[in-house]
Amino acid sequence: MEEKIDIYFISKKAKVSPATVSRVFNRSELVAEKTKKKVLDICRKYNYQPSIVASSMRTKRTKYLGFVLPNMVNPFFFELLKGAEQCASQQDYYIVLFNSENNYDKEIIFLDAIFKRRIDGIIISGIAGGRKDSFFVREILKKKLPCVLVDRYIEGLNIPNITTDNYMGGEIAAQHLLENKNRKIGIISFDLRIKILKDRYNGFKSRLKENNIDEEFLIELPVDTVNILNDLNENKDMILGKKIEAVFCMSDLIAINFIEFLKNNGIGVPKDISVIGFDNIPSAVLIEPKLTTIAQDIYSMGELSVKLLLEILDTDNQNIQTENLNKVLLPKLIVRNSSINS
């Protein structure tokens, strides 16, 4: 009869205890390199892989972390996911992506899948961080599932979060435009009910107010828009009728589309209108002119969200979810050609 290839078989062949074999896969830092190599060589020889189900029954961990994102159209969220996935992989965890496509109904449907898959914890970057996202998060908390917010606040819920200082980012953007003698300034954003965007707006406005300047226009685009360029064209008369000198676009995705809109209307950037974005997504350097922007360390935000969630998971006291765990990263001005004449 063929011998069963299991942890006991491997331990016998490697002349170590079953506990040592288990540690090689679950707590490898506790095993000497020589012993680890011997165990892994035997595992490869016999094509042995530990059972995830069995391991999760012992450790009460599935090694799966959920990540809820509002969309994958904006490269910001792809970079955020990349940071999270690579950090999780280094800790032998796997990311399960839930992309709501800016649909609250879809977000609620995720709840059933999240609970059925026995995910260890969840990272949430909701659609807007408002009342509807709040319902989703409260359902997560009812199940005592550890969670972390990234690039979102939900007021009234005391949940660890990873964000950028968006108010400061708005101030920096305004200061840059003012230092370059811009006085007639417009603002384009997604829905300002998203608190991080409201913070950027308030920071920008505060610096304008210090200089006795008010914005020439404020355009809010729908958060679920499928064609930013079309939305801009619908506001063409307002944008072109104000004789503006500069525009603060509160995301790089908006800024890139806005530069295309200006080109389509025969307006030079920055010769006629300066443009500054927010995020520093990879495509900010691929357009012409290259985009001046307020950089967030997007990759690190994703990475830190996983580290924070694992810190919570490794703490017996699940009431660790307090504001003391919040991490706020500092924004940075990246000056390129869209705001400075070369």
Q: 90-99 in b/e burial notation, b at 16+ Cβ within 10 A?
A: eeebebeebb
Nearest to 262 by CA among 276, 273, 249: 273
Domain assignment present for residue 152? The answer is yes
The share of the chain scoring above pLDDT 90, in percent, equals 61
Assigned domain for 1 exists? no
Q: Domain total for the chain?
A: 3
Question: In this structure, are 312 and 231 located in the same domain?
Answer: no
Decide if pLDDT at 67 tops 80.
Answer: yes
Q: 142 phi and psi, to 5 degrees?
A: -60, -35
Whether 334 maps to a domain, the answer reads: no
Enter the pTM of the model: 0.81
- Kindly report the CATH number assigned to the domain that includes residue 149: 3.40.50.2300
The verdict on residue 313 lying in a domain is yes
Which three-class secondary structure state does DSSP give residue 180?
Answer: coil
| Domain assignment present for 69 | yes
What average pLDDT does the segment 135-140 reach? Answer: 90
Range picked from 13-17, 32-36, 69-73, 298-302 for highest mean pLDDT: 298-302
Based on the fold, state whether residues 94 and 150 are members of the same structural domain. yes
- For residue 174, the enclosing domain spans 166-296
* CATH number of 20's domain: 1.10.260.40
Q: Quick one: 158 and 174 in the same domain? A: no
74 and 33 both lie in a single domain:
no
pLDDT digits (tens, 9 = 90+) for 16-29: 988 788 778 766 66
One domain, residues 75 and 185 = no
Structure tokens at 5: 């290839």
Q: What is the mean pLDDT of residues 113-131?
A: 86
Q: Give me the pLDDT at residue 2, please.
A: 65
Note the pLDDT tens digit of each residue in 274-311.
999 999 999 999 999 999 999 999 999 999 999 999 99
Reduced to 3 states (helix: H, G, I; strand: E, B; else coil), residue 96 is strand
The first and second tokens of residue 129, run together, are 């961080």
Task: Reduce the DSSP state of residue 242 to 3 states and report it.
Answer: coil
Rounded CA separation 27/172 (Å): 45
**214-259 pLDDT, tens digit each:** 999 999 999 889 899 999 999 999 999 999 999 999 999 999 999 9
Instruction: Name the burial class of residue 15, with classes exposed (0-12), middle (13-18) and buried (19+) by CB atoms within 10 angstroms of its CB.
Output: exposed
